[in-house]
Amino acid sequence: MKQFKTLLFAFFIVTQISFSQVRIVRELDNNWKFQKGDFENAFQTNFADSKWQTVTVPHDWAIYGPFDKEIDKQSVAIVQNGETAASEKTGRTGSLPHVGTAWYRNKFTVSAAEKSKKVILLFEGAMSEPQIYLNGKKVGEWAYGYSYFYFDITDFITAGENTLAVKLTNKEFASRWYPGAGLYRKVSLIIKNKESIDQWGTSVTTPFISKDEAKVNIKTKASGENGYLVTTIFDANGQKVSSDKVTTKFGNEFDQNIKVQNPKLWSPETPYLYKAVSQWFVGSELKDEVTTRFGIRDIKYEANKGFSLNGEIRKFKGVCLHHDLGPLGTAVNVAALRRQLTILKDMGCNAIRSSHNMPSLEQLELCDEMGFMFLAESFDEWAKPKVENGYNRFFEQYAEKDIVNLVHATRNHPSIVMWSSGNEVPDQWGDEGVKRAKWLQEIFHREDPTRPVTVGMDQVKATMESGFGALLDIPGLNYRVHLYEEAFKKFPQGFILGSETASTVSSRGIYKFPVVQAKDKQYPDFQCSSYDLEACSWSNVPDEDFVLQDDKPWVIGEFVWTGFDYLGEPTPYDEKWPSRSSYFGINDLAGLPKDRFYLYKSRWNKSEKTLHILPHWNWEGREGQVTPVFVYTNYDSAELFVNGKSMGIQKKNNTTPQNRYRLMWMDVKYEPGTVKVVALDKDGKAVAEEEIHTAGKAYKIVLDPDRKTIKADGKDLSYVTVSIVDEKGIPCPNAVNQLQFKVTGKGTYRAACNGDATSLELFHLPTMKAFSGKAVVLVQSLKEAGNIELTVSAKGLKTAAVTLNSSN
């Protein structure tokens, strides 16, 4: 099996002005004018947009709703889910009004001196089919809403005021999930000398690493004759490590090899980052300067050994993430992304798969900093459609261009350890699909020879027969746990990746009886049981994947579907209304952990002890009825007590996958009071305990912010968990009180979410019902420092308030 050496992160630090003053990067975030609708003359400079809405970018205009079952209603048989007959799907794309055309307009000023330079307009994501106009002239267009792209607008710029107009079109039947709508990622203006380093023109790799030294290879493309390049490497403290000057190009690029002594290696546990400052001189004049942050690490994929990072065999403890951020929609926000990753880190997660699209640059930057390995995916469709107006329309013309941009824009992130060229593509059947898989993989190899390529395959039998699976660098299996052994024997790579696993469904705080394993189970309230025993016809519960991960050294890890609930795909209720978001998440749409969080944490987080009891213990009307109690823990055994009476000791065993990973007392009968679990060591000695209690009447509200101090930048967020408790402070798990939110001071109310997949309340309005006794409020800073006060009230409950601080 080919060994893939490390590739390091090169990204352009987005600052207002670079240290050398030779390159200016301006984020175009404020003062955008926005309007939904098709306006024939909106690209013209003198078009009147004063009555349009003023927004900031990133911006998702569809997240503001309303929810409507008629939006993008699809009559379809979802082949990926094993369906053969078409049926009406009402919440597949989130039931939010993302279909249609919208325009954005902005004005920016360029000085006469800047007009003489090279000007680049960079879009990091525009949903979708963007057409770009500057000063009344069409600059260009792109197709894929998830792609990064840029245009050289030097010839379109005028000294003084310039008018930028962007037309975006979301067609119906174009997505399988909520895609968002608008300029949902950053837009930037890059002004530099004509003799300069190319956009995404720096590539950093480490072809040799030892304990004593590492060779850092830096390839740089730059324009201008008779120039030379000086690259200096700095450590994480800003101390100079080494430097190199080169005057001769090899082909069309400079090639430098710089030694780093006693290198500190990047890993999830120690995400150490260096930076390289590349300075491009023509004559004696500094013409350009680019800062590249990178990490030093080595990756290998080997037959019968699996994946190793820096010489250590390890497995991917990963999750899949869609790109929406719950109540924020798809608009990128660093605080929201950081919160997601912080929650996942606590669970013990070490890897992320972007599903099924190109990730935001902010997400990759955070994964570099926080220590997550990354599977960067490109497409959900190739030439054969899953939905009528999907990427299939653009594949032939754009696939290579989109991959090139993906690789060039992100190739230097140390977090990225493999690429994916597709997910469950219908092209898995037949010779044409094999040719496409080979073609796409070769593009990735040409642009980045340091990382392998996978595809998430659900038609495993077909890919065994056609050669599709055999040609991939990494065979990725989506579910199909019963085919792992056969695939391992037939595929030549010597290992298997669980590229998408589990798809267990649950609703936070909701429990159903009797407690049995079930597929496609539905209930009148359109919720799923949090006993974590329910899955879809094509998927499975977590324990079945755990067995493969633990017992098969050739299984190199898994990416669970999904880390968080997301908008759209409300399986198993995608034919029911109201139901508009997924049930797959380990955490709900508000980012609150479901019980499954603790099941994964008990396996993945080795630095902490986990002891979690489910269900809650408020079951009025179930007195005397069997109410099983599960405990998720990394202890091997425990004793359960109900109101002081022992229910016996349970010990993990191999009789079933569930018995191997969970402690289960199946015969407990409900009586109000206290449930206590006492964890035991190997000698039977008590080493930890946990209790839950029956709550009384809802009495008051409790607020718990994830951060009490945020940045006064107009973007930062504090996520405040709202809990309803009784007079003793015991959480009320069935509370559904209507909450009211008020923010005063140097902040604003941004959104709220309760995690209920059936809720039709709008996120941006300052009221929402609690779900299973909780909700989350997002408080956003202003650009002025000071105190922010959030007050949460509900009829019949004691009001709560919390003071936050925003600082410069």
Please give the pLDDT value at position 73.
Answer: 86
Q: Is the pLDDT of residue 19 over 80?
A: no
| CATH number of residue 674's parent domain | 2.60.40.10
| CATH number of residue 430's parent domain | 3.20.20.80
pTM above 0.85, yes or no: yes
- 167 and 219 in one domain? no
Please give the pLDDT value at position 69.
Answer: 94
Q: Which H or E run contains 232? A: strand 227-234
**Is 519 inside any structural domain?**
no
Phi and psi at residue 797, in whole multiples of 5°? -115, 155
- Provide mean pLDDT across the span 700-724: 98
86: confidence class by pLDDT, cuts 50, 70, 90: confident
**Is 2 inside any structural domain?**
no
Please give the pLDDT value at position 21.
Answer: 77
Express each pLDDT in 363-414 by its tens digit: 999 999 999 999 999 999 999 999 999 999 999 999 999 999 999 999 999 9
- 764 and 637 in one domain? no
Q: Is the pLDDT of residue 8 over 50?
A: no
Q: Which of 152, 177, 192 is at the close of a domain?
A: 192
Residue 135, by phi and psi: left (phi above 0), alpha (psi -120 to 50) or beta?
A: left
Q: Is the pLDDT of residue 4 over 70?
A: no
**Is 508 inside any structural domain?**
no
- 187 and 204 in one domain? no
Token duo for residue 12: 């352009």
Please give the pLDDT value at position 225.
Answer: 85
Query: 19 burial class (0-12, 13-18, 19+ CB within 10 angstroms)?
Result: exposed
Beta bridge mates, 741 = 792
Token duo for residue 743: 């923010």
Cis peptide preceding 572, ω within 30 of 0: yes
Please give the pLDDT value at position 18.
Answer: 38
- Provide mean pLDDT across the span 228-250: 97
Q: Is the pLDDT of residue 645 over 60?
A: yes
In angstroms, the Cα distances linking 253 to 193, 200, 204, 221, 633 are: 18, 13, 13, 5, 54
Buried b (16+ CB within 10 A) or exposed e, 371-391: bbbbbbbbbbbbbbebbebbb
- Provide mean pLDDT across the span 130-143: 98
Alpha-carbon torsion angle 633, 497, 176, 590, nearest 10: 30
Give catalytic status of residue 424 as yes or no.
yes
Helix, coil or strand: residue 202:
strand
* Residue 343 or 19, more confident: 343
Question: Which structural domain, as residue segments, surrounds residue 274?
Answer: 7-12+196-294
Number of domains in the chain: 5
Please give the pLDDT value at position 526.
Answer: 98
- 139 and 247 in one domain? no
542: confidence class by pLDDT, cuts 50, 70, 90: very high
Q: Is the pLDDT of residue 679 over 50?
A: yes
Please give the pLDDT value at position 79.
Answer: 73
Are the beta carbons of 557 and 307 closer than 8 angstroms? yes
Q: Is the pLDDT of residue 16 over 60?
A: no
Q: Which of 271, 294, 317 is at the close of a domain?
A: 294
Q: Which of 192, 217, 251 is at the close of a domain?
A: 192
**Is 524 inside any structural domain?**
no
Phi and psi at residue 292, in whole multiples of 5°? -120, 120
- Provide mean pLDDT across the span 226-244: 97
- 487 and 357 in one domain? yes
Q: Is the pLDDT of residue 631 over 60?
A: yes
- Provide mean pLDDT across the span 256-266: 98
Strands 306-309 and 23-27, bridge-based pairing: unpaired
Q: Nearest-CA neighbor of 142 among 163, 120, 122, 164?
A: 122
Report the amino acid identity of residue 187.
V
Q: Is the pLDDT of residue 580 over 90?
A: yes
Residue of 500, 534, 544, 569 marked active site: 500
- 254 and 203 in one domain? yes
Are the beta carbons of 532 and 523 closer than 8 angstroms? no
289: confidence class by pLDDT, cuts 50, 70, 90: very high
Buried b (16+ CB within 10 A) or exposed e, 414-450: bbbbbbbbbbbbbbbbeeebbebbeebbebbbebbeb
- Provide mean pLDDT across the span 179-200: 98
9: confidence class by pLDDT, cuts 50, 70, 90: very low
Residue of 129, 195, 362, 424 marked active site: 424
Q: Is the pLDDT of residue 531 over 50?
A: yes
Are the beta carbons of 170 and 122 closer than 8 angstroms? no
Q: Is the pLDDT of residue 81 over 90?
A: no
**Is 588 inside any structural domain?**
no
Buried b (16+ CB within 10 A) or exposed e, 593-631: bbbbbbbbbbbbbeeeebbbbbbbbbbeeeeeeebbbbb
**Is 18 inside any structural domain?**
no
Express each pLDDT in 303-314 by its tens digit: 999 999 999 999
- 203 and 82 in one domain? no
**Is 162 inside any structural domain?**
yes
Token duo for residue 106: 């902005």
Token duo for residue 57: 């970018």
**Sequence-distant (≥ 6) Cβ neighbours of residue 596 within 8 angstroms:** 504, 506, 530, 532, 542, 586
Q: Is the pLDDT of residue 241 over 50?
A: yes
- 779 and 650 in one domain? no
Q: Return the percentage of the chain with pLDDT > 70, whole number.
A: 97
Kindly state the DSSP code that residue 394 receives in the 8-state scheme: T
| CATH number of residue 35's parent domain | 2.60.120.260
- 756 and 626 in one domain? no
Interatomic CA distance for residues 786 and 805, integer angstroms: 6
Please give the pLDDT value at position 408.
Answer: 98
- Provide mean pLDDT across the span 110-120: 96
- 224 and 107 in one domain? no
- Provide mean pLDDT across the span 652-667: 97
The edge-to-edge listing of strands for the beta sheet with 227-234 is 240-246, 227-234, 274-282, 285-294
Interatomic CA distance for residues 331 and 309, integer angstroms: 33
- 154 and 254 in one domain? no
Maximum distance among all Cα pairs of the chain, rounded to whole angstroms: 88
**Per residue, what are the HEC states of 397-415?**
HHHHHHHHHHHHHHCCCCC
Token duo for residue 582: 């997924």
Interatomic CA distance for residues 468 and 584, integer angstroms: 28
Q: Mean pLDDT over all residues of the chain?
A: 95
Cis peptide preceding 514, ω within 30 of 0: yes
- 309 and 235 in one domain? no
Beta bridge mates, 618 = none
Q: Return the percentage of the chain with pLDDT > 90, whole number.
A: 94
- Provide mean pLDDT across the span 582-607: 97
**Is 751 inside any structural domain?**
yes
